[in-house]
Structure 1
Amino acid sequence: MAISQFIQIRRDLHQIPELGFQEVKTQKYLLEYLQTLPQERMEIETWRTGIFVKIKGLKPEKTIGYRTDMDGLPIEEETGLPFRSTHPGRMHACGHDVHMSIALGVLTHFVHHPVRDDLVFLFQPAEEGPGGALPMMESEQMKKWRPDMIFALHIAPEYPAGTIALKEGLLFANTSELYIDLKGKGGHAAYPHKTKDMVIASAHLVTQLQSIVSRNVDPLDSAVVTIGKMTAGTVQNAIAETARLEGTIRTLSPEAMEKVKERIEAILHGIEIAFDCEASIDYGCRYYQVNNDPELTRDFIRFLEKQEDITFVPCREAMTGEDFGYMLKEIPGFMFWLGVGSPYGLHHSKLNPDEKAIETGIQAVASYLTSLSNRK
C-alpha cells in the first residue's frame, strides 16, 4: 500500500471542500474509491452525505468503530498551493481532508488484511456545523452496526508531524454558538430622544457579558464567553433599530455551560428592561465535551510507548469543540491529536499540514486496531 496514493487522495479532497450536509462531491469521491477495493468482506451504506463502511471480521466477537469527519469551512484559502481549493470561499482549514485520507488508508489495509473483529468506519458530515455526530448516532445504520468501542483523531498544527498527543478524561470542551438579536426603535440621529438605540444597548450588553466568567464561574473551573461579531445600524446619521451579536461559549463541564447560559439570559432580560427593547437568543450548534475513556486511553498510550517510530506526548485539555463528544457520550472510546507541524493553526486560511503525518496516522491506527482485535 503506497502512502503516496493517500497523499494524492488528500490533495484531491482538499480541492473540493464542502460545508456541512453539502458534501455531495466528497461523498461521491469516497464512494468511487471504495468501489475500487475488493468487495467480498465490505458492506457500504450511505447516510445523508455521510457513509458507513463495515469490514467483516474473520471470527467477530465485537465491533470496533473508527470515525472521520468530512466537511470544510467557509474560509477563503490563502495557501497558494497548486492543489488549493477550487470552491471559492471554502477550505479544508481544519484538516478533515487529512482525516479522510488516513481513514481510507486504514480501511484499505483491513480490506486486504482482515482481523478477527468487525470494523465499522464512519465518514461523518457536518462536524463544523450544524453537527452531524448526534443525528448519525440516531440513524438506523448506527443502530444496525453500533460499535462496542470507537475512536478518532484530529490534526494538531502545534505538534511536529507524526507526534501523537492525548490524555485520559476530558480532552475537548463543551461548546455552544451564541446569537443575540436586539430590536428597539430607529430614527434620525438628530432626535435620539424619540428612538431606542440598539448600538448603546448592544455596547452595554457586551460589557456585562464579560462579567459572567469572572463573577459567576468557579475559579477552579474554566469557561469562555466571546463575542466575535457585532452588527448594527444602516448609515452614520441614523439611530440603529436593530443589533446582532454573534459569539461562542466554551466550558469544561456541562454544569458550567448551563450556568453561563442562565446568566446570559438573566443579563439579556435586564437589557430589555433598561433599554425598552426586545431580545431573542439562539444557541445554534451545541457540542458535548470529548471525554476519553480512561481504560481505553491508557491501553492506547501503552501501545504507543512500545512503537519505535511514533512519538507520544501527554497533553492538556483544550477549549476547542468536537461533536465526536456525542459519540463518546454513548460509546466507550477516545480521540487523539496527530501532529502536522504547521505555523498556522486550525481554521486559518494558510493552514498547510505536513503530509508526512498521513503515514504516521495510518500506521498508528491500523497497528492498534490489529493489536486490539487479535487479543484473546
Structure 2
Amino acid sequence: MTQENPFIQMRRELHLIPEIGLEEYKTHDYLMSKIKELPQENLKIKTWETAIVVRVKGSVGEKTIGWRTDIDGLPVIEETDLPFRSTHEGRMHACGHDVHMSIALGLLTYFSSHQTVDDLVFIFQPAEENVSGAKIIYDSGFLNDYMPDEIYALHVKPDLPVGTLGTKVGTLFAGTCAINVEFRGTGGHAAYPHESNDMIVAASQFINQIQTIISRSVNPMEGTVITLGTMHAGTAGNIISGYASLTGTIRTLTSEMSKLTQQRVRDIVKGIELSYNCKIYLDLDQGGYYPVVNNEVETLAFIDYMTKKKGIEYKDMETEMTGEDFGYYLDKIPGTMFWLGVDCPYGLHHPKMTPNEKAIPFAIEHVGDFLEKKANKLL
C-alpha cells in the first residue's frame, strides 16, 4: 500500500492550527471533516470533547488492533519560515503531532476501503502534552466499546534519518511525575532571624536533600532523575521570606521506582517540617505519564517484521528519559511504541523543528503493511 501527497498536504494544514490540550477544537473539526469523506460502510465514529475514535469493522472482528495518535500542540512561538507556519500565536506543532495525525489519516484512509479480518480502532487523542489525555479518555470509559486487544503508536525522532524505524522491548520512555511544593513559615526583618522562620533556607535544604534520593535510595543500576526547574521566594534583600515554592519533575524507568522516589520525597518533606518548624504542602502528580514499557510479544513481532522488510532501516533504540502518556495504555493493553526518523537538525519542542515530510508516506506504507498483516492474522 502507498499513500503520498494528500497526507503531506494534510500535515501542512494541521500545522497551521496547533492547539493546546483539550482545546483542539479546530483540529477536531478538521479531522472529522477528513474522516467523514471516507467510505463509511465499515466505519463507526465516536467522539468526546476533542477526542475521536474510529472503529473499522473487520470481516470477522475476533480481535481489535489499536492505533493511537496524539493531536495537541505546544505553547511554543514558531521560528520557522515555512509558508504554512502556525497561524495560532504562541502555539506550534513542535513535537510532530501534525505528522502523527497525517499518518493516522493515511492509515485510516487505506483501511476504510481495504477490509481486514480483525477490527481496527484509530484513537485520535487530545492532551498528550499537558494533562495526559490517555488517562482521561481511558478512565472515563470512552474506549470501553472500542477497547483494543493490542495497541501501537509512533513518535517522530528528529535525529534519525527518514526511512528509519526503531524501538526496543521493555522501557522505551521514562515515566514522569510533576513536583509542586509550597513552604510556609513566618517572615520578618533580616536583622531579627530568631523572630522569623526562613523558608528560603528550608527550601534550600529540601533541594539538597532530594538529590540524595538518587545517590543513596536508588539502585545505581537503575535510572532516576529529579529536576527542580523553578524556585520563587522573597520580595527584598532585607526581608526574611515566610514563603517559598518549587516545581520540578521526577523521571523513572519503572513504576516501582517512581513509587519509591515519591515516597522518599514525602519522607524528606516530613523531616524538613520538623527541622524548620514550618508547613510544607507537597503535590506529586504522575497523572497518566507512566513509563512506556513495550510488551515483549508484540514488540518482538514488530521488530522481526520491520528488520526483514525491504526499504526500512531498523535500529535498536536505547531507553530515554522523555515522557509520553502512551505508557498509560501500555500499562493496561499489550502493545508497542516506536520511533520514526524525520531527519531534522532541531529537536523535539524546538521552535524551528521541521520534520522531513518524506517520512509521512514512508510510515503510511510500511506501518500500514504491518497493521494489515496483524489484522489479517498473518503475524
* TM-score, normalised with respect to structure 2: 0.94
Q: Distance in 1 between matches of 2:87 and 2:244?
A: 35
Tell me if structure 2 keeps the 8 A contact 1:174–1:321: yes
Identify the residue that residue 56 of structure 2 maps to in structure 1. 55
**2:307 pairs with one of 270, 281, 305:** 305
Identify the residue that residue 174 of structure 1 maps to in structure 2. 175
Tell me if structure 2 keeps the 8 A contact 1:210–1:225: yes
Q: Distance in 1 between matches of 2:42 and 2:244?
A: 57
Identify the residue that residue 271 of structure 2 maps to in structure 1. 270
What secondary structure does 2:32 align onto?
Answer: helix
Identify the residue that residue 183 of structure 1 maps to in structure 2. 184
Q: Distance in 1 between matches of 2:190 and 2:92?
A: 42
Identify the residue that residue 334 of structure 1 maps to in structure 2. 336
Q: Is 1:295 aligned to 2:289, yes or no?
A: no
Tell me if structure 2 keeps the 8 A contact 1:69–1:127: yes
Identify the residue that residue 355 of structure 2 maps to in structure 1. 353
How far 1:191 sits from its partner (Å)? 4.1
Deviation digits for residues 207-240 of structure 1 (CA, Å, limit 9, x no counterpart) = 1121110111011111010111111123444332
Tell me if structure 2 keeps the 8 A contact 1:131–1:285: no
Q: Structure 1: 5+ residue runs without aligned partners?
A: none
Q: Distance in 2 between matches of 1:242 and 1:81?
A: 46
Tell me if structure 1 keeps the 8 A contact 2:64–2:120: yes
Q: Distance in 1 between matches of 2:199 and 2:163?
A: 50
Tell me if structure 2 keeps the 8 A contact 1:129–1:285: no
Q: Distance in 2 between matches of 1:252 and 1:269?
A: 26
Q: Which amino acid aligns with 1:345?
A: G
Identify the residue that residue 24 of structure 1 maps to in structure 2. 25
Tell me if structure 2 keeps the 8 A contact 1:250–1:319: yes
Larger CA deviation: 292-301 vs 97-106: 292-301
How far 1:155 sits from its partner (Å)? 1.0
Aligned length: 376
Tell me if structure 1 keeps the 8 A contact 2:198–2:240: yes
Identical-residue share of aligned pairs (%): 50
How far 1:246 sits from its partner (Å)? 0.8
How far 1:53 sits from its partner (Å)? 0.5
What secondary structure does 1:7 align onto?
Answer: helix
* TM-score, normalised with respect to structure 1: 0.95
Tell me if structure 2 keeps the 8 A contact 1:223–1:251: yes
Q: Which amino acid aligns with 1:157?
A: P
Q: Structure 2: 5+ residue runs without aligned partners?
A: none
Q: Distance in 2 between matches of 1:200 and 1:74?
A: 33
How far 1:56 sits from its partner (Å)? 1.2
How far 1:199 sits from its partner (Å)? 2.0
Aligned CA-pair RMSD: 1.7
Q: Distance in 1 between matches of 2:235 and 2:371?
A: 58
How far 1:267 sits from its partner (Å)? 1.4
Identify the residue that residue 326 of structure 2 maps to in structure 1. 324
Tell me if structure 1 keeps the 8 A contact 2:117–2:377: no
